[in-house]
A and B are shown apart, each in its own frame.
Chain A
Amino acid sequence: MNSIFNDPGFWHRLQFGFTIVYHYLFPQLTMGLALFLVYWKWRALRTGDEKYNQAVRFWAKIFGLNFAVGVVTGIPMEFQFGTNWADFSKYAGGVIGQTLAMEGMFAFFLESAFVGALIWGEKRLGPRAHFAAAIAVALGSWISGYFILVTNSFMQNPVGYRIEANGSLGIASFSAYLLNHWAWVQFFHNQMAAVVTGSFVVAAVGAFYALRGLHPVQAKLYLRVGTFVGLIASLLVAFPSGDQQAKMVGNHQPVTLAAMEGRFVGGTMAGVAVIGQPNVAAQRLDNPIEIPGALSFLAYGHFGSFVRGLDEFPKEVWPDNIELLYYSFHIMITLGTLFIILMGFATLQNWREKLESSTFLLWVLMLAFPFPYIANTLGWMTTELGRQPWLVYGLFHTRDGYSKVVSNGNAIFTLIGFTGLYFVLGLLFLGLTGREIAKGPDQEAVITPHKEAIA
């Protein structure tokens, strides 16, 4: 009897993976959108132009919906460290608990205290305090991202720890832990990717209004800012941040880089496979089209650099699903490249004042918004699948981390529960966001005191 039904580790991984991927659909938009809100509020203060306030009012509502779903789906994440990953928490809780707690105490407190003021407080607070609320919320969401990335970076590249008498991990150097090199690189890459999601959504709504001939002033604003920010952020995601990220993986987790690239055999002049299918059984990449030397250059800076292949590592340390890792990484890169081309072209057309009249391009922009979500998810799948079989890289195996006292049936039951609940949640979220977009931004600010509370 050897099936997934008596492999509890599988179900705990699936549940955490599912709930975290779902959860992160929401913060990636709030982190990206927060910058737009700050920027527009600042423009409104500087120019006194009402269209910026209108944009803030409209996007703050979308932000609010995202924020609420982000909060309710985020709380289970923290608790699952105890419920599903008890043995991991016993082992590493003394280290990672610090940043999990700091995220709640520094970031969420800030964000949740001011998000109401941002969404409903425009008239009561006055423009300056409203601008401050926007900054507070943006700051909160980005700090929260940093603390979570420090936590993840410790799992990728453990630093600043020591092993305590009882075998668990404790902190040796808090600054080393908090300023993990991995965290900085990953933070930059991840935040830029969140801005890509935000800008694609902003541009998509602009394109939707432009195609329908609605709210022309707002449509133009969303398209102009969305495509320009989208271009800058897409470029920064690839270079320098994506490039740095890949170099870092090559240095700290060479076996992961080999698996990401489907390199079963090492060598100099290592190429990047544009296309190809990893065949793990035969240990080769089938039907590849390679750019010779490109991987050597990208990972180590010289075409002649030696890039290690999977054959140099014992099979026990190979990531446990090389195919999924390889495809996640490659599809992410492909999408990222397409984002640069699309936003570059849209920015050019906008500069030539031809964007709003180009129906085809508007259609593409309107329908493109799901793809940054996909690319973000694939990026995280690359990170997390690449870390396997380790939970804390080089120190602690994933198979040792789940809660041994939780029965398999319970884990499957809660996974099914989350699937159902999150399906309904997704429907509601899409329906309500759709309604807000259909209602549009041409609305007056709420004036009467206290009405903001009634929503």
Chain B
Amino acid sequence: MIATWYAVVSFMLIIYIVLDGRNFGAGMLHWFVAKTPEERRQVIAAIGPLWTWHEVWLVGFGGTLVAVFPRLMASAFAGYYLALFLILWCLILRGISLEVGGHINDRLWQQFWDFLFVFSNFLLAILFGAAAGNLARGVPLDAHGDFSMAFFTDFNVRGNVGLLDWYTVSIAIFTAVMLAAHGATYLTLKTEGPVHDRCEKCAKYLWAAVLPVFLIIMIESRVVRPDLPGRAIYNPFWWLGLAVSLASAVVLALSLSTQHELRAFLASNFLIAGMLATGSAAIFPVMLHSTLAPANSMTAYAVAAGPTSLHIAAIWWPISVALAVFYFVFISRRYAGKVSVQRDT
């Protein structure tokens, strides 16, 4: 039961990262792939109508986490206090710049919001990446299951660590590069004209850059957490995640070279989801690893809510996800196809 909930919570976070990751990526590239105001509106239009739908998956994830792992949510969110507020503020800035930028047809106004849009999306990719790095590396959990972390300490990965160190910064850079590639793949699918051509080129370069950075962080991960994957090799989900990642990587490479835009984008989604699933299966059952003492680590079993709460959630959760799939079908049909360059006034 608890392992299933661990999978469910991971699934929600993965869906969020895959969905909103395309917006972070497209947002980061916004300035570089779109030069004229019309082209920039095109990028915004590719993201525009759906960003709230993507962002609510973060709300769904947060809520499910409180419901089934309340103790973890409490420790982790209080411990990541400042970092989380930075993420929340960046999400606010990102949302406003999307909504507000198009409202007034003035060059300075749009340049300002475009800048803020690029900046906040870049910071979001970095912050979510650093957060993922923190999950892998661990946090200074004490014996009571509490921690509070500075932005940085001595940039080392053991003992009294901070949010940023050489490892988490590497993961953050990797995340930014990969989400940029993901965003470029998405924009290639959704745009036409010069933006499309630039994105297509961009996507190839960025995906090519993902590979070496990935190898570096794999070696780093081996150094930081020599105990992983450990028992995870007996976990079918770990193998499943790995298989999905590898297959998607191959499909992605083929689709990029043969210009199958939709297939490339789907592969990009599955690649990211597969990698995150592998990572989440690798650290299971530990949800928060302690860098101070392994005994302080919080496992899913220790932080789960009572059995009745889990049973109740097991009743409504599948219903809500079934409904979400129904909305998803509606949305994909409605917003399929490319966005055009013209704009109405």
Q: Which of A49-108 contact B (CB under 8 A)?
A: 65, 67-69, 71-76, 78-79, 81-84, 86-87, 89-90, 92-98, 100-106, 108
Contact of B59 among A108, A174, A405, A421 (CB under 8 A): A108
On whether the beta carbons of B323 and A83 are closer than 8 Å, the reply is no
On whether the beta carbons of A89 and B70 are closer than 8 Å, the reply is yes
In addition to A87-B74, A105-B64, A168-B306, 6 A-B residue pairs with Cβ atoms within 8 Å of each other are A94-B305, A94-B309, A98-B316, A109-B60, A413-B82, A454-B339
Contact of B63 among A97, A117, A171 (CB under 8 A): A97
Q: List 24 A-B contacts (CB under 8 A).
A: A71-B55, A78-B62, A83-B78, A87-B74, A89-B74, A93-B74, A93-B305, A95-B309, A97-B309, A98-B67, A100-B67, A102-B63, A104-B60, A108-B56, A109-B320, A109-B327, A110-B323, A116-B53, A164-B306, A405-B81, A405-B146, A417-B89, A428-B100, A454-B340
Bound complex: CA of A84 vs CA of B80, how far in Å?
A: 11
Bound complex: CA of A116 vs CA of B331, how far in Å?
A: 10
Bound complex: CA of A209 vs CA of B317, how far in Å?
A: 47
On whether the beta carbons of B59 and A94 are closer than 8 Å, the reply is no
Judge whether A407 is part of the interface by a CB distance below 8 angstroms: yes
Q: Which of A99-129 contact B (CB under 8 A)?
A: 100-106, 108-110, 112-117, 120-121, 124
On whether the beta carbons of A168 and B67 are closer than 8 Å, the reply is no
Judge whether A453 is part of the interface by a CB distance below 8 angstroms: yes
On whether the beta carbons of B53 and A112 are closer than 8 Å, the reply is yes
With contacts A113-B330, A451-B342 taken as known, whether A106 is within 8 angstroms of B320 at the C-beta atoms is yes
On whether the beta carbons of B60 and A170 are closer than 8 Å, the reply is no
Judge whether B219 is part of the interface by a CB distance below 8 angstroms: no
Q: Which residue of B lies closest to A451 (CB)?
A: B344
Judge whether B75 is part of the interface by a CB distance below 8 angstroms: yes
On whether the beta carbons of A453 and B305 are closer than 8 Å, the reply is no
Judge whether B147 is part of the interface by a CB distance below 8 angstroms: yes
What 5 A-B pairs have minimum CB-CB distances, sorted nearest first? A93-B70, A82-B77, A101-B63, A170-B306, A97-B67
On whether the beta carbons of A82 and B92 are closer than 8 Å, the reply is no
Which one of B59, B76, B92, B100 has the highest number of Cβ atoms from chain A below 10 Å of its Cβ?
Answer: B59
Residues of B within 8 A of A92 (CB): 70
On whether the beta carbons of B309 and A454 are closer than 8 Å, the reply is no
Q: Which of B28-57 contact A (CB under 8 A)?
A: 41-42, 44-46, 48-50, 52-53, 55-56
With contacts A93-B305, A101-B66, A105-B60 taken as known, whether A75 is within 8 angstroms of B91 at the C-beta atoms is yes
Bound complex: CA of A20 vs CA of B337, how far in Å?
A: 39
On whether the beta carbons of B340 and A450 are closer than 8 Å, the reply is yes
Residues of A within 8 A of B317 (CB): 101, 105
Judge whether B108 is part of the interface by a CB distance below 8 angstroms: no
Per-position binary interface string of chain A over residues 424-451, scored 1 when its CB falls under 8 Å from any chain B CB and 0 otherwise: 0100100010010000000000101011
Judge whether A277 is part of the interface by a CB distance below 8 angstroms: no
On whether the beta carbons of B81 and A403 are closer than 8 Å, the reply is yes
On whether the beta carbons of A432 and B344 are closer than 8 Å, the reply is no
On whether the beta carbons of A170 and B74 are closer than 8 Å, the reply is no
Q: Which residue of B lies closest to A96 (CB)?
A: B66
Judge whether B209 is part of the interface by a CB distance below 8 angstroms: no
Contact of A104 among B49, B56, B80, B308 (CB under 8 A): B56
Judge whether A172 is part of the interface by a CB distance below 8 angstroms: yes
Per-position binary interface string of chain B over residues 324-342, scored 1 when its CB falls under 8 Å from any chain A CB and 0 otherwise: 1001101100110111101
Q: Is the interface of A mostly helix, strand, loop or mixed?
A: helix
Per-position binary interface string of chain A over residues 371-397, scored 1 when its CB falls under 8 Å from any chain B CB and 0 otherwise: 000000000000000000000000000
Which one of A112, A406, A432 has the highest number of Cβ atoms from chain B below 10 Å of its Cβ?
Answer: A112
On whether the beta carbons of A104 and B309 are closer than 8 Å, the reply is no
Judge whether B295 is part of the interface by a CB distance below 8 angstroms: no
Judge whether B173 is part of the interface by a CB distance below 8 angstroms: no
Could you list which residues of chain B lie within 8 angstroms of chain A, going by C-beta atoms?
Answer: 41-42, 44-46, 48-50, 52-53, 55-56, 58-60, 62-68, 70-71, 73-82, 84-85, 88-89, 91-93, 95-96, 99-100, 102-104, 146-148, 305-306, 308-309, 312-313, 316-317, 320-321, 323-324, 327-328, 330-331, 334-335, 337-340, 342-344
Bound complex: CA of A75 vs CA of B85, how far in Å?
A: 11
On whether the beta carbons of A79 and B78 are closer than 8 Å, the reply is no
Closest Cβ–Cβ distance, residue B337 to chain A (whole Å): 7
Bound complex: CA of A410 vs CA of B148, how far in Å?
A: 11
Judge whether A452 is part of the interface by a CB distance below 8 angstroms: yes
Bound complex: CA of A112 vs CA of B331, how far in Å?
A: 10
Bound complex: CA of A121 vs CA of B330, how far in Å?
A: 13
On whether the beta carbons of A71 and B95 are closer than 8 Å, the reply is yes
Bound complex: CA of A124 vs CA of B53, how far in Å?
A: 19
Could you list which residues of chain A lie within 8 angstroms of chain B, going by C-beta atoms?
Answer: 65, 67-69, 71-76, 78-79, 81-84, 86-87, 89-90, 92-98, 100-106, 108-110, 112-117, 120-121, 124, 162, 164, 168, 170-172, 174, 403-407, 410, 413-414, 417, 421, 425, 428, 432, 435, 446, 448, 450-455
Q: Which residue of A lies closest to B71 (CB)?
A: A90
On whether the beta carbons of B66 and A435 are closer than 8 Å, the reply is no
Bound complex: CA of A164 vs CA of B73, how far in Å?
A: 18
Q: Which residue of B lies closest to A116 (CB)?
A: B49
With contacts A98-B313, A446-B344 taken as known, whether A106 is within 8 angstroms of B323 at the C-beta atoms is yes
Residues of A within 8 A of B102 (CB): 454-455
Q: Which residue of A lies closest to B88 (CB)?
A: A76
With contacts A108-B56, A454-B339 taken as known, whether A410 is within 8 angstroms of B74 at the C-beta atoms is no
On whether the beta carbons of A110 and B73 are closer than 8 Å, the reply is no
On whether the beta carbons of A72 and B313 are closer than 8 Å, the reply is no
On whether the beta carbons of A120 and B67 are closer than 8 Å, the reply is no
Bound complex: CA of A103 vs CA of B320, how far in Å?
A: 10
On whether the beta carbons of A97 and B70 are closer than 8 Å, the reply is yes
With contacts A421-B92, A425-B96, A451-B343 taken as known, whether A101 is within 8 angstroms of B64 at the C-beta atoms is yes
Bound complex: CA of A410 vs CA of B337, how far in Å?
A: 46
Closest Cβ–Cβ distance, residue B52 to chain A (whole Å): 4
With contacts A71-B95, A83-B84 taken as known, whether A421 is within 8 angstroms of B89 at the C-beta atoms is yes
Residues of B within 8 A of A114 (CB): 327, 330
Residues of B within 8 A of A410 (CB): 81-82
Contact of B148 among A75, A407, A413, A417 (CB under 8 A): A407
Residues of B within 8 A of A76 (CB): 85, 88, 92
On whether the beta carbons of B74 and A105 are closer than 8 Å, the reply is no
Which one of A93, A170, A428 has the highest number of Cβ atoms from chain B below 10 Å of its Cβ?
Answer: A93
With contacts A100-B63, A105-B320, A453-B49 taken as known, whether A432 is within 8 angstroms of B100 at the C-beta atoms is yes
Residues of B within 8 A of A68 (CB): 52, 95-96, 99
